[in-house]
Structure 1
Amino acid sequence: MTETYTKARFWKCALQVNPYTYLAYRGEEQRLTEDEYNQQLLQVCKEENIKVLGIADHGNVDGIDAIRNVLKPHGILVFPGFEIATTEKVHFVCLFPEKTTTDQLNRYLGALGLTNPSDGVWPSNLGGNDLVLKINELGGFCYAAHCTDDSGILKHKLVHVWKNDLLKAAQIPATLDELKAEENNGYRQILMNKNRDYTRETPIAIINAKDVEKPETLKNPKASCLIKMTKPGFEAFKLAFQDPESRVRLNSDISEKYYSRIESLSITGGYLDGVHINFSEHLNSVIGGRGTGKSTLLECIRYALELDPIGKSACKQHLEIIKENIGKSKGRIELVVRSSKMNGKKYTIARRYGESASVKEEAGNISSFTPRELLPEIEIYGQNEIYEIAQDGQSQKKLLGRFLDAEHDTFEDKIKTALIALNGNRKKLHNALEDKSIVEDELSKLPKLQERVQQFKSLGIEDKLKIIPLLETEKRLKQRIEQEELYNLEQAFAQIKDALPDTVFLSDKAIDNLPHSDALKKIKTTLDQLKVDTERTFDQWKAFFTTSKAIITRLIADVQQGIQCEEETLEKTFKNLPASEGKSGREIGVEYQQLLQAIERIKPKEVAIRSQQALIDELKKQRNSLLVELSGYRASRTAQFESSLKKLNKKLQNKLKLTVKPEANRQPVIDFLQSCNLEGVGEKRLSWINEHDDFSPVKLAELIQKGMGELTGSNWGITPTIANALVRLPASKVLELQELELPDIIEIELNVSHEGAANYRSLKKLSTGQQCTAVLHLLLLQNKDPLIMDQPEDNLDNAFIADRIVSELRNAKINRQFLFATHNANIPVFGDAEWIGIFESVDEQGVMPPEAQGAIDVPAVREKAANILEGGRTAFNQRKLKYGY
């Protein structure tokens, strides 16, 4: 399969490889034939994944073609060249395009004034600056070889040559850190561009290119370096040295980075039908004219990952874009992602319009994980969404959430649990108070009923009807036996039966391979026996219960029959009672009976109300305990939050300053009291809530419960009118007030000073552009999941993007994947995007073929990027002339 080159990456390049004759030049015996030597070069290149060899014998190009013929069929490039000394006896390696012939190379040697071609180490008659200039004119590339050794440019102190901008690179024998041992750290200071005498406008590229005299030397990490190119080639190679900070690395500079990335995207159907992209793991930039598909691409990624925008307008825009560009064709989006959360495993996420996302493991099995669980901290922001965040405090706090320690979530969970418990307690307390109130109403009737009974007794009927209260007591006892005692006992044993052990989970298949399977099998045997014994006991109890229930049922029937007999006797007694006040004897008897029945029904409630009061006292005690617990959790959460912000402020030093005002947003209290429709109290009359640092909903509820005097006597400035309205709140509303959660207020301050002492200003006092700048600083902080943004340059000035954002991007992209849709050249060009994708609209379709993808070192990409971002070559040159550059 032919490899496609659509993104820049680091390629391993060995830039000072010698042909097989070099060993003899060193005075050693060469035991290999030329073909054997070259075949071994090929084998090591494959093993070490070396893509480019620079052939550089001393003034000799004879062995280049043989090496090139062996390596070329295997896709390994050869940059032909030679090593040459200047009149100062300083060595340089000169390399040329891959198609350069040996005849051309010999002519170049002549042009460089090699006065004794038969002796390759004989110096040129050109000085260092002239040599560098001549190589540049010939279309080649040269670097200072072994710059710290005896034949090196630094050893010879050729400051004027070192500062020549045409000299792009210098080879060192080891790593920069290993040069610390050198006296006064001198070479290292020069190479890091910190020595004033040697300071260059553009820092020099530092490479490792150990002299390779035999194939196995290629395995030494110091024999090669890493050059970032889209497709390896000489022009891309040379271009890399224009930006060495981003594109040139030593092998020792690269360490394994563990972070998530979106590896590829494919779209089927809709406006972007057929678009396929292999993203870089570093900086990716989508460009194109207005309406070509940039925003659509980013919103498709958001849709596939089932993520919702933070802001309302952003959410609306997202839905419109997806509906218009994917929905009409029921399109499908597929992403391949690598998840840091899942230890670097690869997953395929696919979502068709109108359906939920599906997730597959690399082996093709359906995964139970959701996209959000694979990339829990991914951030996607559409156009103007950053501005929305800058205007909303809660969105800012949500953004800060990913920088908080794990303990913060623990306290949040504890607070939520405490609030749920308080809510449940309030409902129980409310019900208990309601029940007590109903019973109190019932008990208030008892004195009047008892007084009426006394009136009846005065008629002399007490002795004749004294059995009535006794019969009512029997009825009450009979009802309890029938409806409570037997039923409760039967239900309790049924629950025991339902709770018997089920040892299916301890099957032989489940435990055979476990290290302590013998002990687990014994546990299973014991549990099974316990179940058998319990069932036997239950069967015995069931027999006892059935027998006892039958006896009790018969006896209850006897009691009922007795009551009926007594009541029939009472009927006769009622008829024999003397009439009074126009009522017959029977009417008097029935009324007396009803009075006694009512009294017997109410009397037990004297005991019940004591139980209910005890329940209320216990619920209040529990509530107070929960409030104390909640207060502790809130204090711990605040302390932890402040600790996290301190760490964050260190990372944001001289950029942002973050502070927290705990529970300072009092609006929920004002909204709650407004919803209670307090008589004569509008929102303005509640302004005192925002005026006192010691205010809390719990304290306000406590004052309300204590009454008018406590409210007006507080230092909060509560007037009698307001206090009177507050004390009339229902008890349940006062309890609800205790449960209100007040949001923190996050103070974000931006350093608006570009130079000198820091000058921090609050977000509220900043311009729109400065507000967005503050948010961007937070977004660019380290995160293991990707950051995707649509036109981050909106509301920002170009100078800030070039000075701050691009600089941060270049540093951060080593440890995180970025994807930006942009119209601003600074991001893809100065940010040195590893992947640039260029959208065009063809026949009302957004297209991005492979040839429209790559880094800035791809000529077609570079040309299109210049046309889109700079207005074309003519416009760019006109600006250059007008600015006087």
Structure 2
Amino acid sequence: MTNQNNKYTKARFFKCALQVNASGYIKYRGQQQTLTEDDYNQQLLNTALEAGVEVIGMADHGSINGFEKIRDLFNQHNIVVFPGFEVASSEKIHFVCLFEESTFSDLIKMHLGALGVDIHHPEAPVQKSALDIINYVNDKDGFIFAAHSTNDDGVLKRRMNHVWQQNGLLAAQIPGSVEDLRHAQDVLYYRAFKNRDEAYHREREMAAINAADIAKPEDIKNEDASCLIKMTKPCFASFKQAFLDSGSRVRLNSDKPQNYASAIERVRFIGGYLDGVDIEFSEHLNAVIGGRGTGKSTLLECIRFAFDLQPFGKAAQAQHDAILKNNLGNEKGMVEVKVRSAAMHGRHFTISRKYGNQPAVVDENDSISPYHPKDLLPGIELYGQNEIYEMTRDEQSRNQLIKRFLEGEHERFDAAIAKVLVRLKDNRESIKSALSQKADIEEEVERLPKLQEQAKQFQALGIHEKLEIIPKLEKEKQLNGRTNEEVERVKEALDTLKDSLPDIVFLSDASLEGLPHADLLKQQREILESLLTSLTQTLVPLEQLVSKTSAELLHFQQQLIEKINSEEQQLENAFKDIPASQGKTGRKIGAEYQSLLKKIEQIRPKKAALQSREAQLNELYSQRKKLLLELDQQTSARASAMQKSVKSLTRKLEQKVRLSLNSEGNRQVLVDALSNCNLEGVGVKRLAWVIDGEFSPANLAATIRQGAAELTISFGISDTVVRALCRLPEHKLLMLEELVIPDTMAIELNVTHGEQDAVFRSIEDLSTGQQCTAVLHLLLLDNQDPLILDQPEDNLDNAFIAERIVAELRRAKLNRQFLFATHNANIPVFGDAEWIGVLSVEDNKGLIKPEQQGAIDMPEVQKLAADILEGGKSAFNQRREKYGFN
């Protein structure tokens, strides 16, 4: 299927000028005609093309003269012409009557005769009443609208409410917008069009159109000379049908919204079950229909595949994988999706993905783009069958969905909280390291008294005087090594400085070329170059000085080592003079004493290191208190911002869904954290007190540090739990302090229908269909990117679809694209889908024929929609009769 062969596959707005007069109208107005008929027609065509008019209605007073020449000329330029005329009723109310585009002039003249138009005075009122004219035109399959309804000869100005209420009258002309009528001299006009005046109340609201008289060619460019009618193909049948759903299909030029949203513009398949299918979607509401097994889900899952979107839940993932493998994988098929991206300021991209490969993105210049598909449409939502239902059953997923629609400052606080948590984690690791080092030092320092006692025993042997130099030599070794450390620290500082020297490559001539103020940046480069030169020159003597120092120190260090070695050699000789004792030779006793003194001298300085570690820990804990305070401040500010955001979102939901936030309400997270600590003898049931409490994790950690008595007093918990908590190591308490308890969100759905007072019920107490309806209301909120749903009606309450969801769709589709695969007539028909595609199967391949796509105004689409969605005309009529509907 190729769309090049078929221009009309989706509904759009066509600009229509519905009260165009032929050249003879100037004479009727009593003015001098300076153009020939052909010149007039050519100028009219030129201005129509310039104004973008694609449909015109002929509406001379009581005349059809000149119509066929205009039709022949305009048809050559694809402008559709409806023949017709303007007529005044016996009450002097003016109407415009239009007929099918292929109607001949002679038949129009017959209609004029039947209405009693005087060919000599075509502007004069006829003898037939307004109601007679309305009924006649409708009986002849024409279309009639009230001309200039607020003027002297208009239905409103003449207070003809019984004419206004006539079912066969579907539209009335006004000079500007309906809102302009609010300030008109007669407020009735506004109330009548808004259907708020009891005397003028209609079952179907009157469509307001702009169709001012085209008295001369230039008039067709005036805003009040045309209006917008949505049709798949511009023809009289679609034109008439548009007024049966004017709320969706009839717009004034001033009312047409500008759409800046993203859109999936085209999907094309190469290989696989849908090989050759090539669809151009509407940027508004699209619906894929078809019998079961024709490939509706396949189409949507292939779009998901192209965007690399992950299904929600294991079941959805398994179904997605199976669909792709069976329908795309066997032939290693490819999906190609053309998109317009709001995130990229309306730029166009093409996403291509072959089965088994990653997606590739190409921009409008046919260059490979670095963007991922999700970067182009970051807010795209796609849910397969039952995915929404699965989401409603998962509280965390519901909350994540709601957060996507929240607007406010809470995201700023989220970022700040994340930064504080990173700093707290770094602080925790520092404390953990410092505690470990302190424990190691403490272990060694605790050995010192025992070693000193052992030394006294050796001294009792009278060898202390002989070997008193040993600790002195050990200290000299330590001091000798320390000089090297000092020089190495200076070397490291110089290396750091060298690595930090200014890099001026970023200000190269190539980088500055073409910049408007390059001269100023060049001056900055010169200053940096001067700094670089000066520092480089300064570093040379510094490095030389350090090298010289190292060399000088080395001389004296070597001398010291030689002397220490000499002293130790003399010690070896002194060991010989030590008397034997307890079976040990003097040499062995001396060696043991030497080793013992070395150990004592190595440990002795660690007493000072222990004090340093304790000071370090005190500083780390002090920093931690500040960080925990900052965390409290940020989480409190975030909670306040979140409350405001949730209230704002609830207002947007307009009494359909109500949301309420319980800040830090998900205390199960704290229970899980404690359970993961493997508390001895403490199961989940013994942690029920955590759920009911209002204390923070940091407060719990602080109380645990205070001991068992304080835990019992503060929380009233059992001895088993107290003992288990008191055995928690410090690093677990630190992790506990950093725990941020998530919020919980209460979702309530208004379960009433129609105009009844709202009754809200919690999502936990709703039926499956009502739960899904609540979530769908959220999904229909403003979003620049498309929403794609596969058979949403499967899990929706049917009454809610008709009364709520369809109404939401009709509003939201003006500024957002929707694509549904559906079996429910309410969505494409009452939602007035701009594109309906009927999937069918031929030779085991899915296809959408050109004539089987478009809006509901296309005869073939109408028939197939009735067959597929309603079970056919007979079944539909039987149901209507059984319901008692006329």
With normalisation by structure 1, the TM-score equals 0.97
The AA in structure 2 aligned to 1:81 is: G
Shift of 1:3: 5.9
Q: Deviations over 1:577-622 (max 9, x none)?
A: 1112221111111111011000011011011101111111111111
Please name the residue that 1:363 is paired with: 365
Q: Deviations over 1:703-728 (max 9, x none)?
A: 111110110001x3311221111001
1:22 paired residue number: 25
Q: Is the 8 A contact 2:174 2:210 kept in 1?
A: yes
Name the CA distance, whole Å, in 2 between partners of 1:406 and 1:372: 23
Q: Deviations over 1:102-151 (max 9, x none)?
A: 1111112122233x223212333321112111111212111111112122
CA distance in 2, matches of 1:259, 1:841: 33
Give the paired residue count.
881
2:275 aligned with 1:278: no
**Alpha-carbon deviation of 1:406?**
4.8
Q: Is the 8 Å Cα contact of residues 257 and 814 (structure 2) preserved in structure 1?
A: no
Partner SS, residue 620 of structure 1: helix
- Equivalent residue number for residue 45 of structure 2: 42
Q: How does 1:337-486 map to 2 (within 5 A)?
A: 337-482=339-484, 484-486=485-487
> For residue 861 of structure 1, what is the aligned residue in structure 2?
861
SS in 1 for 2:349: strand
Match of 1:718 in 2: 717
Q: Secondary structure at the match of 1:473?
A: helix
Q: For residue 636 of structure 1, what is the aligned residue in structure 2? A: 637
Contact 1:334 1:349 in 2 (8 A): yes
Return the alpha-carbon distance in structure 2 between the equivalents of residues 665 and 176 of structure 1. Answer: 50
What is the match of residue 704 of structure 1?
704
The residue aligned with 1:878 is 878
| Compared CA separation, residues 725 and 2, structure 1 to 2 (3 A) | closer
Q: Which moves more between the two structures, 149-158 or 676-685?
A: 149-158
Contact map agreement 1:42 1:71 (CA 8 A) in 2: yes
Alpha-carbon shift at residue 184 of structure 1 (Å)? 4.3
The residue correspondences of 1:784-799 to structure 2 (distance < 5 A) are 784-799=784-799
Identical aligned pairs, as a percentage?
52
Equivalents in 1 of 2:736, 2:862: separation in Å?
63
Judge conservation of contact 1:310–1:395 (CA < 8 Å) in 2. Answer: no
Aligned-partner Cα distance in 2 for 1:551–1:118: 127
Partner of 1:808: 808
Residue 735 of structure 1 deviates from its aligned partner by 1.3
Provide the secondary structure at the position in 1 that maps to 2:530: helix
Matched-pair contact (CA < 8 Å) for 1:664–1:745: yes
Is 1:740 the counterpart of 2:744 in the alignment?
A: no
1:306 deviation in Å? 1.9
Task: Give deviations 1:134-174, integer Å, cap 9, x for gaps.
Answer: 11121211111111212222223222222111111111122
TM-aligned CA distance change 1:757 to 1:181, over 3 Å: closer
Of residues 95, 102, 106, the one that matches 2:105 is: 102
Quick one: distance in 1 between partners of 2:679 and 2:299? 52
Report 1:45-444 matches (<5 A). 45-114=48-117, 116-444=118-446
Aligned partner of 1:297: which letter?
L
Give 1:531 deviation, angstroms: 1.8
The aligned residue for residue 845 of structure 1 is 845
Q: Please state whether the residue corresponding to 1:846 is helix, strand or coil.
A: strand
2:465 is paired with a residue whose SS is: coil
- 1:260 Cα offset (Å): 1.5
How far is 1:522 from its partner? 2.1
Say if 1:403 and 1:644, in contact at 8 Å, map to a contact too.
no
Instruction: From the superposition, tell whether residues 181 and 471 of structure 1 become closer, same or farther in structure 2 (CA, over 3 Å).
Output: closer
Is 1:727 the equivalent of 2:726?
yes
Structure 1, unaligned runs of 5 or more: none
Separation (CA, whole Å) in 2 of partners of 1:788 and 1:150? 50
Over the aligned positions, Cα root-mean-square deviation in angstroms equals 1.5
Shift of 1:342: 2.0
Displacement after TM superposition at 1:21 (Å): 0.8
Amino acid of the structure 2 residue aligned with 1:687: A
Superposed counterparts of 1:678-689, under 5 Å: 678-689=679-690
> Residue deviations 1:2-50, cap 9 Å, x none?
6611110110000010000110111000111111100011111111110
Q: 1:237 aligns to what SS in structure 2?
A: helix
Paired with 1:676 and 1:2, the residues of 2 have a C-alpha distance of 68
Matched to 1:862, the amino acid is: Q
Q: Aligned partners of 2:705, 2:555: CA distance in 1, in Å?
A: 55
- Report the AA paired with residue 321 of structure 2: L
Please say which of residues 866-875 and 374-383 is displaced more in the overlay: 374-383
Q: Which residue of 2 aligns with 1:602?
A: 603
SS in 2 for 1:439: helix
The CA deviation string for residues 287-336 of structure 1, in whole angstroms up to 9 with x for no partner, is: 11112111111122222122212333323322322232222322222222
Q: Is the 8 A contact 2:836 2:856 kept in 1?
A: yes
Residue 608 of structure 2 aligns to a residue whose secondary structure is helix
> Which range moved further: 291-300 or 438-447?
291-300
1:523 CA drift (Å): 2.0
* CA deviation vs aligned residue, 1:678-711 (integer Å, no higher than 9, x gap): 222111111111112x222111111111110110
- Point out the more displaced range, 122-131 or 498-507: 122-131
Query: Quick one: distance in 2 between partners of 1:183 and 1:505?
Result: 68
> Residues of 1 paired with 2:487 and 2:331: CA distance?
67
Task: Report how far residue 657 of structure 1 moved.
Answer: 1.2
How far apart, CA to CA, are the structure 2 residues paired with 1:498 and 1:828?
66
SS at match of 1:469: helix
Q: Which deviates further from its counterpart, 235-244 or 146-155?
A: 146-155
Residue deviations 1:227-247 (CA, integer Å, cap 9, x gap): 000010010111111111111
Which amino acid letter does the alignment assign opposite residue 719 of structure 1?
A: S
AA in 2 matched with 1:679:
E
Q: Matches of 1:764 and 1:702 in 2, distance apart? A: 36
